[in-house]
A and B are shown apart, each in its own frame.
Chain A
Amino acid sequence: MTGAEPVLTVRRLDAGIGGQQILHGVEFDVAATGVTALLGRNGVGKTTTARALLGLVRRSGEIRFAGERIDAALTHRIVQRGLGYVPEDREVFAKLTVRENLELATRGGAPHTDLVERLFPELTERADQLAGTLSGGQQQMVALARVLRNDNRLLVVDEPTKGLAPLVVGQVTDALAEAAARVPVLLIEQNLQVVARLARDVVVIAEGRVVHTGPAAEFLSDAARMRELLGVSRAAA
């Protein structure tokens, strides 16, 4: 971790969906710069962690974001404080056009429209197309563009490369790298090559608890620890 204050600190976080508790006392920090990757096998609670930060699931514990508690705040207030969320499965509005999707997401005059146009020129060409008719990769670009055109203090990005063609994975990774140069990112990602390229720190979750935190390079080079916690070796990823 860097010496600077973390942008996000999570302490004793419990969260659940319906009657089922999924997170049990999760604790981790997200550094004020760079990418922190949230890793773990399927179903251990990575997406639930992201949704708990946003207040989209029932949660308790202490979440401090940019110096203020957000564990009791409403979702839209948390986002207005500068937490940009790119959800798993993209969740673009299928019946709205690309332009409408972006307009809807705009807070405070969209200061970074130019950046988005440069990163994803395809979206400018397809401004009047319904988002539901886009390919998965293009939908991911819309989901990223929604947060990148605003000023944010932290991005929470959930499996941005899931189900994408290799070429598009590269494009999305480039965009995330560019974004991470400006704003810290909490990245949930199964593709370990993407993690290796982007992440400085890793937080590993197993069965709703944090089981490892540390520098990404160190973790990714420890084959035994990776097999133990993720069930994969880097070569198989």
Chain B
Amino acid sequence: MSTLVLLAVTGLGLGALYFLVAAGLSLIYGLMRVLNFAHGAFLTVGGYVGYAVGARFGTATVSWGVFVLMLAAGAATGAVFALLTETVLIRRLYEREIEQVLVTVGLGLATVALVNGGWGSDARVMPAPAWTGRTTDLLGAAVPNDRFVCIGAAIVVLIALLGLLHRTRYGLVIRAGVENRAMVRALGIDVRRSFTAVFVIGGAVAGLGGVLAGLYNSSVSPGMGDSLLIFAFIVVVIGGLGSIVGSAAAAVGVALLQQFVNYYGTTGLGDFTVVLALAAVLLIRPGGLFGRAARA
């Protein structure tokens, strides 16, 4: 029983990280048809800036106030990085989707190389509040507290994103644009403004995810974004491109499947099972579990 609980909570924590990457990817692809391969870089840079803010205090454990500051710094960094990416690179390649993919792949590779050059390839220990390093007894299992922080943060982000999408005019334009962006333009709305908005929101959430990934792994490393990005792409496709609820559900499903199969099968089998699940979803429901029918 305690093993089940530990695996489940750890899986949910990992699912939270997948969701924080997948949410932005899904909105960006859904609205703009851009597969943003630089999204992992937003996470990595956000994580490192959060680390750098925490490291200034010179101790391995920091107060909650400092940790919140680290989260804010990570989110702000992700947002600014995403804003520059969209306005400087992506916008110039408007409607040229292959070129947009190529430029994001290049940006992702270059960013990892720069982080490597600046901070080195070794993992850096992430400063965190002391409580997150301890465990809580849950139904007999000693669950590391950082899992709860990741899960809680992802739930807050999910609620905030749903509120934005369903309670504001920005959100209305984004939801309509995901469905049919040409028609949004034909109603007299400059849909490019919401392109910038989803990039900034996606970048902020990924940057926040970078600090939380550092907490979850107890460290930051240059490859952290890309290792999450691969599974986040799978989550986005399974959940349905453009669907935030789909991304959240798929993130939880993928992470739990991965954890349990990796533990009860052999290490690595879980990752393979996730790819099989992806193939099954694509065969049975090509638009994803919560997706719409594919259209131009």
Contacts and interface: CB of A to CB of B under 8 A. Distances in A.
| A and B associate in one complex | yes
Interface of A: 54, 56, 74-76, 79-80, 85, 87, 91, 93-96, 100, 103-105, 107, 146
Main secondary structure of the interface of B (DSSP, over half): helix
Interface in B167-225: 169, 172-173, 175-176, 179-180, 182-191
B186 A104 contact: no
A93 B191 contact: no
Nearest to A80: B188
13 contacts: A56-B186, A75-B186, A76-B189, A76-B191, A85-B186, A85-B187, A91-B183, A93-B180, A96-B172, A100-B172, A100-B175, A104-B173, A104-B187
Interface in B18-54: none
Contacts of A56: 182, 185-186
Contacts of B190: 74, 76
Interface in B276-296: 292
The interface centre, meaning the residue of A74, A76, A94, A146 with most chain B CB atoms within 10 A of its CB, is: A76
A75 B94 CA distance: 15
Nearest to A75: B185
Interface of B: 169, 172-173, 175-176, 179-180, 182-191, 292
B176 A96 contact: yes
A104 B179 CA distance: 13
Given A91-B183, A95-B179, A95-B292, A103 B172 contact: yes
Nearest to A108: B188
B172 A105 contact: no
A79 B187 contact: yes
A55 B168 CA distance: 28
A107 B188 contact: yes
Given A76-B190, A76-B191, A87-B186, A104 B180 contact: no
A17 to B, nearest CB: 11
Contacts of A107: 187-188
Given A54-B186, A56-B186, A79-B186, A91 B191 contact: no
A96 B187 CA distance: 15
3 nearest A-B pairs in the assembled complex, by CB-CB distance: A79-B188, A75-B185, A80-B188
Nearest to B176: A93
Nearest to B187: A105
Contacts of A75: 182, 185-186
